[in-house]
């Protein structure tokens, strides 16, 4: 069955617009490039392997050969594991391109063996986050001058299991975990999106992070090497019923790129065309665990400033349509005290005399298909200044 961007948005043309897509020689990057090219955009295929990029260019042109008013395809070399390559690519774009309306940071690696980038960073963090971070920063003046513009960071639902090891981002102090490293890099994508959106909110540049779904691509090419021979085949068999095609996986990217409104800039989009921000738009970050053994924390609740308010409700299916659960996000506006002292008793953060206003977001979850289901506190999203303590991993059941 045919697929094109009309499934996402109608009567939209991108003539005169320029888009750069990393990793666009295969998978959802290639599928996204095809649709933007179909709509008349000048699409820059920023890829590590020039030969594969050339093959992808010819395939895209062949697939839309019967379309009228297509755009233009251009190839640029980009190796995200090398800062020098990123700088060279950005320099060429800034020099030769008049505008850049769409930056789609799509390329990435997943569960690869332990290793380092050319610049000495853990491979997942270096390629998936730092390479794109540097590219975005170098192209930002061009993007701002081209506004209205969009920056889209392809993350993953794996970010929900990620932990930012701020004192050991390269896994040099702890045992290497391919899955943990991948999840950390995807969480970094989401946090980067939130902060960048905050800084660009007055610049007419919207920033989104997205989860494309479980897509059949070559992203899992390292699975056998990392785990054991045949692991890729087994995981493919398990996820077979849930696989999307690359064209289907591109839907969420296309929605964020083509939708008229800049609403929800900074949010995380999951599922096809659904606005599902997993983090609130206020500045909220995961807890930072750093040197907790050497610190003394004085943290206490004072009072509620406003009654709790429901800010987000959603219902989703889990694997099957019969297994439905709902989530309700409630905002609590309170006053609290925080003071953190080092091991010598010196105040290093906060103040015991000055209360702080706190916006806390608590996510409550319940399986609706089970009549005996209980509401549970599923997750808690808190401000960055909260105490650096270990977050609870328990599910708290609420009595009805």
So which residues are the catalytic ones?
182
Overall residue count recorded for the chain in this entry: 400
User: What CA–CA distance (Å, rounded) separates 283 from 270?
Assistant: 20
Query: Could you give the CA distance from residue 283 to residue 306 in angstroms, rounded to a whole number?
Result: 19
Q: Say which residue the tokens 């042109």 belong to.
A: 61
Provide the H-helix boundaries in 64-177.
83-96, 123-124, 132-145
**Torsional class of 260: left (φ above 0), alpha (ψ -120 to 50), beta (otherwise):** alpha
- The answer to whether residues 64 and 70 touch, using CB atoms and an 8 Å cutoff, is yes
Determine whether 185 is exposed, middle or buried from the number of CB atoms within 10 Å of its CB (0-12, 13-18, 19+): buried
Find out whether the peptide bond into 148 is cis, omega within 30 degrees of 0.
yes
CA pair distance 170, 266, nearest whole angstrom: 26
């Amino acid at each position: 069955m045919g697929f094109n961007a009309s499934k996402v948005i109608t009567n939209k043309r991108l003539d005169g617009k320029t888009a750069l897509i990393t990793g666009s020689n295969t998978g959802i990057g290639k599928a996204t490039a095809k649709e933007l090219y179909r709509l008349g955009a000048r699409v820059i295929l920023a890829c590590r392997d020039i030969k594969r990029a050339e093959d992808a260019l010819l395939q895209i042109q062949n697939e839309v050969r019967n379309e009228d008013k297509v755009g233009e395809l251009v190839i640029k070399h980009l190796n995200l594991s090398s800062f020098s390559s990123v700088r060279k690519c950005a320099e060429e774009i800034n020099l030769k391109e008049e505008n850049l309306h769409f930056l789609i940071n799509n390329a990435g690696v997943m569960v690869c063996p332990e290793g380092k980038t050319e610049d000495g960073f853990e491979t997942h963090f270096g390629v998936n986050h730092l390479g794109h971070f540097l590219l975005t920063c170098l192209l930002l003046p061009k993007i701002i001058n081209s506004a209205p513009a969009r920056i889209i960071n392809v993350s993953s639902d794996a970010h929900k299991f990620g932990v930012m090891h701020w004192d050991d981002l390269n896994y040099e102090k702890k045992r290497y975990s391919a899955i943990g490293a991948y999840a950390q890099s995807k969480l970094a994508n989401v946090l980067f999106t939130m902060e960048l959106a905050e800084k660009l909110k007055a610049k007419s540049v919207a920033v989104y992070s997205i989860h494309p779904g479980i897509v059949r691509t070559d992203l899992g090419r390292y699975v056998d090497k990392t785990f054991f021979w045949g692991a890729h085949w087994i995981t493919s068999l398990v996820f077979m019923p849930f696989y999307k095609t690359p064209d289907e996986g591109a839907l969420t990217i296309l929605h964020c790129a083509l939708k008229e409104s800049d609403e929800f800039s900074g949010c995380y989009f999951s599922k096809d065309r659904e606005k599902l921000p997993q983090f609130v738009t206020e500045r909220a970050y995961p807890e930072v665990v750093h040197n907790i053994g050497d610190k003394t924390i004085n943290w206490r609740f004072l009072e509620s400033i406003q009654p709790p308010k429901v800010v987000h409700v959603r219902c989703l299916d889990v694997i099957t349509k019969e297994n439905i659960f709902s989530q309700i996000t409630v905002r609590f506006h309170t006053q609290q005290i925080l003071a953190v002292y080092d091991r010598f008793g010196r105040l290093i953060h906060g103040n015991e005399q000055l209360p702080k206003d706190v916006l806390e977001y608590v996510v409550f979850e319940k399986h609706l298909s089970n009549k005996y289901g209980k509401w549970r506190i599923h997750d808690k999203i808190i401000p960055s200044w909260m105490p650096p303590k270990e977050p609870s991993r328990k599910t708290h059941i609420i009595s009805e």
